[in-house]
Amino acid sequence: MSILLIEDRGHVRLMTLNRPESINSINMALYARLIEALEEADADENVRAIVLTGAGRGFCSGADTREFENLTPENEGLVAERAELTYRLHYTIPRLKKTVVAAVHGYAVGGGAGLAQACDIVVAGEDTRIGYPEIRHGLVAAVVMANLVKQIGQKAAYSLVAEGRVVDAQEAWRLGMVTHVVPEGEHLAKALEIAEKLAIRVPSALQATKQLFKRVCDVPLAEGQDLGRQANEAMRAYRAEAMKAYAGSVINAKTEVTA
C-alpha cells in the first residue's frame, strides 16, 4: 500500500497522506516521500496547483511516535536524519512555485498542525481539531514554531504551544490558522474548487504572486515596497502571456465552432 496517493485532476495534483490506521502519522518514510512528491509536482509544468489531504478519519496526527524509541542520544545519526527531514519539509513547502491548498478534517495535531500551517491556503471541515499538544508529552513544538508565530502572532502562538491547546475549526479560523471553514465532509471538494480556480490563472503571474508574498512577509516595509516595484516592472511579461493564452482560447473556440 502506498503511503502517499497521487492523482492528477486536470492541472491540479491531489496528494493524500495514506496511513489511515494511525491518522496519517508521519514517519521518516512518509516525510521523505512527501518532500520528493512536492518537488516533483513543482517541476511538472502540467501541474499548476497542489491539494494536500489525509485519508480516513483525520488529516494528520503528527509524528509517528513509534519511531521515538529509536530516537535516542545513542542513535545520534538517526536523530539528525529525522530532524533534517522535518526541517526539509517545512523549508520546501513555502518555497514551491506552486500554491499548496490543505484540505483538513478530523485531527491535525502536532506535526499535522504544522503541515497544515505550512500550506498556502487551509480549508478545514467543521470536525477539524487542530493544535500543538507536544508539551503534554514532554516535547517541544520545535520546527513548526517559527511559522506558527509568523502566521498568528506571539501571544496566540505561545498560548497554543505552552498550554498544548487543541482548538476547533471556528477558533482556528478566528486565530488565522485556517482560511475557510466548511461543513463536515466538504473540505476536499472546497479545496479542489479553490485549486481549480488557481489553475486557470496565468502560471507565471500566480507563481510570482506567491514568491513575492513570501518575500515581503520576511522583510521591512521599505524593502517589501522595493520588491513590489521590481515585480511591477516584470508584470508586462505576465500580461503578455495572459493575452497570448486568451488569444489561443479564442482561436480554439472558433475552430471548434467551424468544425
Catalytic residues: 134
Joined grid coordinates for residue 21: 490506521
Helices (H), the chain: 28-43, 76-95, 111-118, 145-152, 154-163, 169-175, 187-199, 203-216, 221-258
Joined grid coordinates for residue 189: 471538494
Joined grid coordinates for residue 220: 521591512
Paired with 130 in beta bridges are 108, 167
Paired with 60 in beta bridges are 108
Residues 6+ apart with CB under 8 A from 201: 48
With 0-12 CB in 10 A as exposed, 13-18 as middle and 19+ as buried, what is 105? buried
Residue whose C-alpha cell reads 489531504 in the numeric block: 53
Joined grid coordinates for residue 98: 506552486
Q: What burial letters (b/e) apply to 112-146, b meaning 16+ CB within 10 Å? A: bbbbbbbbbbbbbbebbbbbbbbeeeebebebbbe
Q: How far apart are CA 118 and CA 92, in angstroms?
A: 9
Q: How far apart are CA 102 and CA 185, in angstroms?
A: 14
